[in-house]
Structure 1
Amino acid sequence: MDNWFRSKWFIRGISLGFAILLYVFVSIEEADTAHESLIPNLFGGSTQVETLPSVPIKILIDSEKYVVSGVPENVSVQLEGTASALTPIVRQQNIELFVDLRDLGEGEHEVEIEYEDVPNQVAVYIEPKTIDVIIEKKASDEVGVTVDFINEDKLPVGYQVGDFELNTDTVTVTSSKEIIDRIAIVKVYVDVGGLTESIKNREIPVNVYDSQGNELAVRVDPATVVISVDIENPSKRVPVSLATSGELPDGYKLISMEPSVDEIEVFAVSDILENLEEITTKPINLSELKKSGTIKVGLAIPDNVLSPDVKEIEVEVELEQTKQLDNIAVEVDNLQEGYIANFIEPNEGQLSITVTGNEQDVRELSAEDFRIYINGNGLEAGRNTVPIEIEGPENVTIETETEEVVIEIEEV
């Protein structure tokens, strides 16, 4: 053994061993101070940092007696350690944060956010580490629920919100007495935009607000209610009336104008239907009417009113027409043989007549459809005033410029 101590290599080996032991000892001390171990680094491990940006906080308190405010829902947590230690925590979010308020009474307190389920070799840094909380005695109140229908202006034309039914009209709100006293509105919102069918048993959350419209963080029981809403499409049968514009052309008179339907069904919200007495047609331009018969006319449907089944109607138009026929020769019947008749008035032996009747009957009439004549039987030579007679269609009225003519009969 004396030979070993005399060997310089033996001495060098002993010195190296003491150096390693000293390094390990110092490293272990530093790791204990920082809640982590660097021993794995001697075998190729390395320290790294991971951040969990949103870790929830559990509140430990008698929740039947107290409510707590000031505790954030989530905080940021930074973890430092080896990859093998951090990986399961980060992947599984396997860290639990809490504030223990069980030994504290009512009032304001500064408390520390604590943690558990973290290995000793992992360092934990919480931001913020301490928070200010307020502990208050719990209070409850039963309040009525109101319903607010949103996007009613986006319902299809003619549709409206009808009756609705909630499975409960009241809810129990629990918080501190100060918060309970601030409650002004407990409301549910129902979006009816674009609906054409009724809502059946829709579950919707309950919202609680103060008088300024700020939402209050309280416990609501039940947290949701079930609503059914009637979406209605009211209708009404109303009479149809005819609208006209302009005047008939000269020579025409309106006998009748009858729509093919007396009334139609229209759809609109109740307030509009209540004041809707009739539906008119679009104006019929009388100046364009020159024939009896059937025309099609569109309906002048008011805004926010629908008539899905009828867009236009037929109108039966009956016109009376007055037509003048000129230069109709007056014939002389039954004049004695050996005599001739010369017309004094009218001097050319022609008359004009005015024919009036249904436009369909008058439309194609001409002078050839009428015969004007006088009866010359028994007339003697000289000047004679003789009444005229007219033959023509029976379904028209005939007027003449004169009812008699003056003729001069001469013997030949």
Structure 2
Amino acid sequence: MIKDQGSQDQSIKASKQLQSTESSSLLTSLVVYTVAAGAPFDIVTTILNMKRTVSTRSDLDDSEEASRSSTSASKRWSGAAIYKTKFQESWIKKWPFVQPGEADIVRHSSSEQHKSNAKSLRANTKLNFQPVNQELTEQITRAEVKVTNLLVQHNVPLAVTDHLSPLFREIFTDSKIAKGYASARTKTTCILNGSLAPHFKATLVDTMRCSPFSVAIDGSNDNGLEKMNPLTVRFFDEGSGLVVTNLLDMCLTTGVDAGKAESIFTKMNEVFTNNGVSWDHCIGAGVDNTSVNLGVRNSIRTRVLQKNPNTYFMGCPCHIVHNTALKASSKFAELTKFDVEDLLVDNYFYFDKSTERKNGLAEFCTFCDSQYKGLIKHVNTRWLSLSTAVE
């Protein structure tokens, strides 16, 4: 198709050149004949001007044809024909004489593309936004926060919140707050971590900045890559009139030195520094009796005392009593050949899996006019459970 168009253009151009050549030759012959016949000078001048006009017109035709061919090619292979160029504001600055008129609007509105876009627009659904009831929204938010706080206080799994929204709507059918309540586990988690936790932590930090307090820290088992060292704060709450204990930070430590005193204290001091809390207000510290915590040379105790020499360190009294009782029980078993711990463990497993034996024990208790109680398993790692198990 492109080759046929080029051949036609060349044929037209050759025809025009031939016509121009024939006209020029004819005028030249006419000039020679007129001069030979002795015609007046005015006639000869007129014929020469006609020849110049023909030559000039031929040149103009050639240039116009070349320009037209170039424009036609550019329209076919570039510009709006390919990229569908839209109107640009920069054109007004470049060509300030360009002014859109009514004809442009009519031409655009009658185009197929405009009709297609208008048809698509009519198919869209309109969104009617209702005015927001600010008071009702605040009441719904307050209810969601209250429920989240209740779940945390009683250690209820957050998965329960997936069932609360439909339950409230079903129970409180006449309540607008219940109809708007929509806080499942994801939103409840966001309320807890993004709203409640920062609020209570900020309140705790403000109290620590201006009131005396004591801290307690203990490490988790070394089962993972991270070691948790929950740092709790104990202080007197003027609002409730009680001594309360709140969690300040988990103090996570990692690496091969995660359980060493230097790593744990560095994390503790980092928490204090980031929250703007001074060690001067720390009057006591509670830790267990390991050398990491209470060692004489390199421990958490020595590092805290460098910050505040007046801090009182108290080891875990449960550990102290447990170790004392354990030694006494071991000595008693050695002398009497009777181990109380073994007896309690054997009794528990003897009655644990047998309903018949438990019923027999219950009948014996009734015969002795005593109340039947379920057997409690003694935990070997804590000797203090021995007293409860015996009772």
TM-score bucket (shorter structure)? under 0.3
Higher-strand-fraction structure: 1
Q: TM-score, normalised by structure 2?
A: 0.19
Which structure has the greater CA radius of gyration? 1
Instruction: Determine which structure has the larger helix proportion and give its number.
Output: 2
TM-score, structure 1 normalization: 0.18
Higher relative contact order (CA 8 A, sep 6+): 1
